[in-house]
Chains A and B, each alone.
Chain A
Amino acid sequence: MLVTKAKRLLATLAGWAASVYAGGASAEYALNLRPGVTPISREAYDLHMLIMWICVAIGIVVFGAIFISIVKHRKSKGVQPAQFHESTTVEIIWTVIPFLILIGMAIPATKALVAMEDTSNSDLTIKVTGYQWKWGYDYIDDGVSFISSLATPKEQIFDMQQKGENYLLEVDNPLVVPTNKKVRLLITASDVIHAWWVPDLGMKKDAIPGFVNEMWFEIDTEGTYRGQCAELCGKDHGYMPIVVIAKNEADYGKWLSAQKTASDAVAAAAEREWGMSELLERGEKVYNTSCAACHQANGEGVPGAFPSIKGSAVATGPSGDHLALVMNGKAGTAMAAFAGQLSDVDLAAVVTYQRNAWGNNVGDLIQPAEVKAAR
């Protein structure tokens, strides 16, 4: 009863706030954890509610006592202060009772934790890699891998366009998993620490360069679930969302074979000779998703933080050195190694683009075959 009343009150409050809000975004809001779609997330939710209500109950007792004191034991009522102090009995009672309450909390918490950390007997293993600022997914058993980055257009971020329903929580290539299968994630990072978190799956795990962490989930409802990187990872930490789509086994199988066909096509494309205009066209797209966050769409970078590519010695120097820098990154800086993130065609295209855009008129062109040879 009390809960629904409090919820209604807060809903009115939030509704009022929403009407004040002029941004025109949807008035959807939330107050609490979501129960989620995995057995683990529901267990976490139940535990959360249990502990919260225990805290509320203790709060009522403690704050109630303070309130009664404030109302009744005030000098303005003419009361004389009592003189009692020090009571070993009372001290023991208020040490032991909280201790027992804590034990009552620790038992279900321990059970939940043991279940969460049991990553054995999984049906499917996916490797997750955090990059500044996107996620890479490798379906280890099926040979499918792709990069997943933010799909929200810049215009929405800079308020030049109406924000969409899934503003900042949409990606180009979502992670697709089958329902009712125990999916194990192997989580790592290539540059700095990130954290992989989808609230509906009930778990969060850090992605640490050089280390592999494990977590698991078993989704029982088909649908799309959204989350974000949860560990500060630099400039665009707020712009690396996670989208998980859970499909039934048949649909998942179809998706998987479509992915395999697509990656075969990419491999085949790397075998042929590419022309300048198609490389530039593809290169611009790759540049905007993989490079522009730091080096900016105009190639001028950010002084002091990210170097300019426009007119730079690297982009106008020998093409082999340029390609090597893009593929291997630069140690000790934010410049990542893109060899593991981009295909041969994409690497060839983006380097060609950088050498021939914004007034960089080197005029040469890098073939996917050269990239393959450089690997």
Chain B
Amino acid sequence: MDANIKVSINRIYWSEYIKEIPRDNYFFFRSCIRQTFFPGAEQMFLNILSKNLNLNYKDDPDLTTCTGIGYHSDIIPLETVHTMVARHFSLMNESGYSNFVISCVTTFGVMTEALNMWHEFPETLEKTIENLYKTTKRTFELPKTIAHASDIIYLYRDEIAKQCIYKLINKKTGQPLKGVDHVGCHYAKIFPQHGVGGAEFPKVLSEMIKSWGGEVIDYPARRHCCGFGFRQYFIKETRGYSLTHSQVKFESMEPYQPDFIITNCPGCNMFMDRWQYVIQETTGKVYSVDGNGIPVLTYEEVAAILLGYDPIEIGLFMHQTDVLPLLEKIGVEFDKDRYLSLRSQCIKK
């Protein structure tokens, strides 16, 4: 009986959430938050595509915000966000591309939601076509595929592993480094079929950790929101909402003493990096035994470190919670004096 249940569970979950990921020719859509706080991560994604994987992409300067943050903060009407999405699809059509690849998890959620609504309520698609033409004289066709940028790195994780000059292994002890993943809510919670592993069994980041030599730590609050909360964060008086939920996650992962946190959502990455600083400043609590805090990295940053890109060029100095302890555990060889000099300017009060 037990064996039957196990077979059934394996069949129901996970196998239903293997999505189609395009293999080449990407129309790349940037993230407002990632460009602002971790711009090197997006640059590394494109470097890895072109230099390491020999893949083709288009980085179109005429793209703008998707307005998704405004939509989820309730100042952008539905018709507006749909028309903005349609304009981005129109630019993709003009460039001759059909695989839309998105850096931001909020944008990914907004676009998958628009595609779903246009399918379920065709009158909303008709209205969007009308609005786009009325306001810009543009027309558009839907993308053939839509993927998050982490899907692409997931797809090529083993190819990247072959080119890595470092592994997620502690150089001194030879033991795998312990990583916790945090998958952004809008990657798969809205439409599980659009996320590798769905909403309940996220594989997109944990499979990268495994391919690159690390150990995945499952922790109780793994699927809990980072706490962004959109308006909850942007309005100062409710910002504690955001802090509280990140703290729930830190408390949950602390007993496992992770060496790093890996994220695929630009906002989550920033919040989990910054809130550790706030908790340390306000309560003295630090979530790692070395007194540093747990380094929080995007998947592009982790891949770029292991592939041997320069930590400064990756933009690791832009993190509040210092990434240096992780670099030292991996044994990355780089200009440490230059990095320390830069960090000392950053943290000088």
A-B interaction? no
